[in-house]
Amino acid sequence: MTTTLRPAGPQTATPDGGADRRWLICANGRPVGTVRTVARRYGSYRVGRIEELEVTDGLRRGRGTVAVLAAEEVLRAWGCHRAEVTVPVQAQPALALALALGYVETNLHLLKRIGRPAPLGGGLTIRPIGPAEFPDWLAATKAEFQAHLRAAGFSADQAAQRCAAEHTRLLLQGHATQDAALRRLLVEGRPVGSLWLALDNGLLPDGSPLAWVMTIEVAPEHRGNGYGRELLLAAERECLAAGVRDLGLNVYSGNTVALGLYASLGYRTARRVLTKTLL
């Protein structure tokens, strides 16, 4: 029995100059599932994503495997040298499939329904990051993001281009970007860390608005004093003030210290992100 992909609609362009298309998974011409391919453009290179894979018939006949491999060929044709898949934590068969096809877990998406966070600790203050300090904060944030990308297998040039594209898109008006809360944590007037919170990160399946912690940074010499926890609680207070009850964040796989902190505050893993180099 032959499994192939057939377009389910026209190919469309993404805002960044990439491509997006949905496909029918067909067995001998009969639809048995769907999949979506997306190519995101970061400067001169593209990263592909395989999304919304669903096999409705013949799951155990290898059709999911063939569909993913065919989707990878689409991404190669679009100029992608890397593929990413996001797997819900409860979808164990999908995770097993991705691992069997050579995908490697790089990070996790965690979510929390916010209750009533604790008040700010004594001697601590939170204030906005203003225009004068924004350039230095942005440079440090970019450097940390690029370091994570390099650790995940990106070249120096790819990391720099992806970082530049993402930060330009997300902070279009700099420190005054709408729905971006940029905050500095101070201890008795001395800066010890910072927070970048995106208050509009889309909607959950039930229609609830979702905010996202983009970065939390604590200066190396001040780590281990609970300031990361204080910044997370500050993010939760910002969300509640904006009428948002659900908060998500990204953590890189293997960061056991951060995972322990997030778990202690009630964050739970919702999705796994895996990547693969397309040769």
* Residues 226-278: tens digit of each pLDDT: 999 999 999 999 999 999 999 999 999 989 999 999 999 999 999 999 999 99
> What is the C-alpha to C-alpha distance for residues 33 and 52, in angstroms, rounded to an integer?
10
pLDDT of 156 over the 90 cut:
yes
pLDDT at 58: 58
pLDDT at 47: 95
Q: What is the dihedral of CA 142, 144, 148, 151, to 10 degrees?
A: 110
Contact residues for 137 (Cβ-Cβ < 8 A; gap 6+): 129, 182, 184, 194
Handedness of CA 110, 273, 169, 151 (dihedral sign): positive
Task: Could you please state the CATH topology (level 3) that the domain comprising 112-277 is classified under.
Answer: Aminopeptidase (3.40.630)
pTM to 2 decimal places:
0.91
> What is the C-alpha to C-alpha distance for residues 278 and 80, in angstroms, rounded to an integer?
7
Q: Is 268 helix (H, G, I), strand (E, B) or coil?
A: strand
Q: What would be the CATH architecture of the domain defined by 3-101?
A: 3-Layer(aba) Sandwich (3.40)
pLDDT band at 203 (very low <50, low <70, confident <90, very high): confident
Q: What's the rounded mean pLDDT across residues 53-66?
A: 81
Q: Is 171 helix (H, G, I), strand (E, B) or coil?
A: coil
pLDDT at 60: 59
pLDDT band at 184 (very low <50, low <70, confident <90, very high): very high
pLDDT at 121: 86
Tokens of 129: 């990051």
Phi, psi of 253 (to 5 degrees): -60, 140
pLDDT at 42: 92
> What is the C-alpha to C-alpha distance for residues 67 and 23, in angstroms, rounded to an integer?
9
Handedness of CA 168, 173, 179, 182 (dihedral sign): positive
* CATH 3.40.630.30 residue window(s) in the chain: 3-101, 112-277
Q: How many residues does the chain have?
A: 279
pLDDT band at 53 (very low <50, low <70, confident <90, very high): very high
Q: What's the rounded mean pLDDT across residues 127-146?
A: 96
Written as one letter, the residue type at 245 is R
Identify the CA nearest to 277 among candidates 75, 116, 133. 75
